[in-house]
Structure 1
Amino acid sequence: MHTEALVQSILVPLFLILLTTVEDTLLQSVSQVGGVCKFSSESSLRRCRTPDGKICSGRGKCDCGVCICEATDPGKFYGPRCDCHDWVCSTYNGTTCNDRGYCDCGMCECDEGWFGDACQFQEECNLPSKKSKALCKNPEGVVCSNRGTCHCGSCMCNNKDNRGLVTGRFCECDDSECLDEDTGEVCGGHGQCYCGNCYCAPGWHGDKCEFQCDISPWESKRRCKAPDGKICSNRGTCVCGECNCHDVDPSGDWGDIHGDTCECDERTCHQTYDRYTDSYCTGHGQCNCGTCDCKEGWAGKKCEHPLSCSLSLESSMKKCQGTSNLPCFGRGQCQCGQCACYPPGDSRVTGKNCECDDRQCENISGEICGGYGYCSCGHCICEDGWFGKLCQFPRSCDLSEVQSKELCETSDGVMCSGKGSCHCGQCICRPQDWWVSGEYCECDDRECDKHDGLICTGNGLCNCGNCECWDGWMGNACEIWVGAEY
């Protein structure tokens, strides 16, 4: 059965393409006599015009009532009016129709036994009800985020308006954020919405795919490529060959990130804990494209070292470094061999080299050691009967081994994503792979943003590849202080 479905998924699209080619050829041969078009210019264009008035959807030329579509990569536009493209059928995991069907002009034709707009639902289910429900729980433990129903371990999201605006594995996404304010169309009709973000068709750009470029996507990327090879230095969005740099300054003033390819990041010149004072280069230098040019009498990466200090810059940094690769463990400022921990007045960051950070004992909700232990220099000391980095695992268990393992399996039947062990229905991710996290060890915390060499700048927790900042901090890497003045 699987082989037959595979053959069908290959042959049917080929047949459709061949049929379209033959159809276009026949139409063109009928419309032309002796190489001369028998249609008037107006009649020819009318046959090529889409309902919104565009000729060949703006993606091809009209030749005697037949659209000759422009070739674009990846894939190509096709159809009688160049209005079909298979990117519409792409899914979150990068497949087309979840590899359970084929795409026909933006609609998934599913293999036998599967259904859904992306062939994501199985018609017959062999999963026990409890396991199915467990697979539908979001990270907060809510089934389908209370915005859908659970079917065989997959969420069927509620969409009363039939527009499909509630999406995501756990119905956690609100795709109404993708609606164009003027037209009301999703991504302006020129893109696909994934969890509130528009991914535009080739040739279209902008947050809602509202801009069309007169240059190819490859030329656009070439112009936006920074010297390090990254598009807009990974600090901006490329629109028609120009970089729109992410402005991390919430005041709306001139941003810290600028340059033709966003190559200048002046955040590296800041004392990160004191965002709104004149802290560029500690007030002792000028920031030029992310590098401090120090005034006379000062030295260091941020001009923090006075040359009047009896210690050399190297000796000062060595005294502040301790056992870390960063001075003051990245949690303070080194001043002539002594660490001033920040934020000032926060008793949770202590130690000669700011080596103790008791914020590391807190979970996302601010609870210390899960309520089952106490914090000692950034490490949880658990009460009897509890263990784990945050004392989150009970040693006793009232589940059978079978019940426990059922709760630890991912939707594709892999125990803890193959990256951990199962204890009482909870996954314990491999401690040697510090970056592995998540309910099913499915997350890679190396994807969390860094600043000054620290994940989440040390001012938040990395939660499944995204920084969850503590109070008073914001930014992709929790690098911006917006709390009270010191």
Structure 2
Amino acid sequence: MLFATFLLGASAITCPKDEVEVDGACYPETCVFDGTVCNNKGKCEDNACVCDFRYLLSDKGCYPTECVDTLSHLCSDHGTCVYDDQWKIYTCDCEEGFMGFGSSCVHPNCMKDDAVCSYYGECADDENGVPHCVCPYVTEGEYCERCSDVAVATADDRCVDPTCMTEQPDGTSLECNGHGYCFVPNVDDDHTWMCICDFGTFPMNSGLSCVSLMCISDTAKEEICSNHGVCLNDKCACDDDYTGDRCEYKKKDCGVDEEFVEGDCVAKTCISSDRDHNSPVCTGHGKCDDGVCQCDKGFTRVGTNDCVPESCINDGRLCPNGYCSIRGTSGQCVCNDGYYGFGGVCYPESCITKKFTHNPPLLCRDRGECDFDMGICKCDWLYGGIDCGDCGVHSKLLHGECVPDSCLSSVSPEPVMCRGHGNCFEDSYLGVHFCSCEQNYVSIDTDTCIHKNCMTQRPGGDDFGTECSGNGYCDNNAGACVCDPDFSGKHCEEKKCPSGQKYVYGEGCVSTRCITKYSDGQETVCGGLGDCVDGKCVCRGTSIPYAGACVSQACLNGNPDGPVCDGKGECVNGVCRGGK
């Protein structure tokens, strides 16, 4: 028994005045509806319900927005809020004799042309309980459909209080000066009107007129066009002796080389070429001194009349491929479309290969120069493509690098640099590339390095002549000749010839009767001074036949019968060798 009494005492709550108990807690009466806090669809804050999303506060608590009318009544107090399963929305289920109209339940006596009391009045019961339209003083009629004698009809057929009409210079009147609409802020006092002004306008005349901010010279004094003009079409139309955006300057007579600017005569050479600034004199960041702009600190002069931020100058030009955005005493380059800005420079997006956080972007893969104005890469001669990512017409891709054609050998299906035994060297002075060969390899062209063992020494010389006598190719790694069919020898210098013939380097198979052999083993055809025809030497020029060969007269010392070189040597290529 004592235990039950204790529970009963613990549950009793006494709330302060103007509060009621709900679920063991006290709440302001203004937040409690039908024994719940805000119909369980909101929270009580500062003695009022703050409804959940898609709910509005009505005179009966928080209800779906579809059921709360403009006067915060639930279905105009003539219906209940129900959920429509078919359309998945809330709607008003109106009492008999009332019809649904948006979030309201309206009696037909108040409806005309799909409007409740022509949007002006309210539907209310008269003393006999019959619904009818209660009209504001600016309208009259059964449905408030006409303007009353004290109201003014606007161009869009609205009825407004005359206090909202502003007289124009031409004698006509416009609602809120043509820049807003007339509104009753207090429904309990429909004789108190004010203008709701459009954006960019300012309320004047105690809120009964709206004037463009472009015409307001002093908002505190409600001064229009400096009291020296009228506002027409959002611009000041100044009196004859005044000028300026707000008629703030009295006109002066200026010289031929001067222009009236901001209330003073200024040399035309100080008037900025770009007047889209706070002041056209020296771009608003300097003073005119003897016809030349003296720029403020941090600004530099371009020409005689423009002062621009030093931070906007790049390579002596003002924001190439962009424009200078000036804020206060500083400025920065804003790049045109298709350009990327970094460090005050506008880089063409078409030239950028890679961007970095703290460094300028990489242009043209570092393989050429970017034409900033044209936005194209001008590639080094080795490279090509839009961003120099390809090899040029005079180079080929080899192991990921572009190699000049002048350093590429073509002995295999794929190009090989310097036949695999050299590096491509650039002579920057001559502007050419050629192979620099490894040790024991010799260059026989700009693109070829051949092992010394494969080279045939030219007759009578110490320099190297032909690769494998021209009758094979060099296995460069092995350093040995691989001869063509029918050829053999270390340098492929020997060939199988018909009977009675022998192979002579550079001549082919020749009759043995025409071959001259020297003491060093060298062999020539007709002593190198004739041609073998039908097994006989036919001498050329002044050479004469001697012992089956052709000998120069110098080797015979004027004696056609010999001996050659006085018997003390041999005639090689028309010259005695070994004595005379």
When normalised by structure 1's length, the TM-score is: 0.24
Larger radius of gyration: 2
* TM-score in terms of structure 2 length: 0.21
Looking at secondary structure, tell me which structure has more helix per residue: 1
Q: Which has the higher contact order (CA 8 A, sep 6+)?
A: 1
